[in-house]
Amino acid sequence: MSIAEIFVEAQFNTMGDQLKGGTIDAAALPDPFLSRAVAAGTAQILVPLAAGMPPNTTGIVYGVRRSWAQANPAAAKAFRDSIVEAVALAAKNPERTREAIAKYTHLPPKVVAEQPLPPLRAELTDDQMQFWIDTMRSQDLLKRPPSADTLILH
């Protein structure tokens, strides 16, 4: 069986309907999509994925090749600074944050208003990265495990 027969890519906002219709058998859904699918009776929680993660571990990491970062230090710094700025803006203006979430997730503003805002962080630590390295190693997804401290552009 190939990996394509095991995993399919699907948008979060369609996964509940795909579960209901039998197009997919399981999904890794974040909130608010998970809560909506459970409330609609189209999904049940089999494994609480976030509960198994260390506190403050991020599920989103942006990456570039080291050669690119070394050749474009100003662009790399500007991108990093924009993430820091966005996190600060979101903390200061929750309503604007909810508007952006509704816009880019295509969820109704009422649904977004009922959900807690996600914890946003701009920092990425060696320990957080090590969690993902260890997870990937446990699934045989890495041939040679990297050192966490060499993966983060400081």
Summarised one tens digit per residue, pLDDT across range 10-41 is: 888 889 899 999 999 889 888 888 888 898 89
3-class state of residue 9 by DSSP: coil
pLDDT digits (tens, 9 = 90+) for 75-130: 999 999 999 999 999 999 999 999 999 999 888 999 899 888 888 889 888 988 99
Please report, in angstroms and rounded to a whole number, the separation of the first and last CA atoms in the chain: 41
> Exposure string (b/e) for 77-102, b if CB count within 10 Å is 16 or more?
eeeeeebeeeeeebeeeeeebbeebb
Length of the chain: 154
> Considering the domain boundaries, does residue 139 fall inside one?
no
> Considering the domain boundaries, does residue 83 fall inside one?
no
Asked if residues 121 and 59 have their Cβ atoms less than 8 Å apart, the reply is no
The arithmetic mean of pLDDT across residues 58-66, rounded, is 87
> What is the per-residue pLDDT for 92?
97
How many domains is the chain built from?
1
CA-closest candidate to residue 104, choices 86, 81, 122: 86
Asked if residues 42 and 16 have their Cβ atoms less than 8 Å apart, the reply is yes
> Considering the domain boundaries, does residue 5 fall inside one?
yes
The rounded distance, in Å, linking the Cα atoms of 79 and 153 is 12
Is pTM, for the whole model, over 0.75? no
> Considering the domain boundaries, does residue 142 fall inside one?
no
pLDDT tier for residue 3 given thresholds of 50, 70 and 90: low
> Considering the domain boundaries, does residue 16 fall inside one?
yes
The residue range of the domain holding 21 is 1-52
> What is the per-residue pLDDT for 30?
84
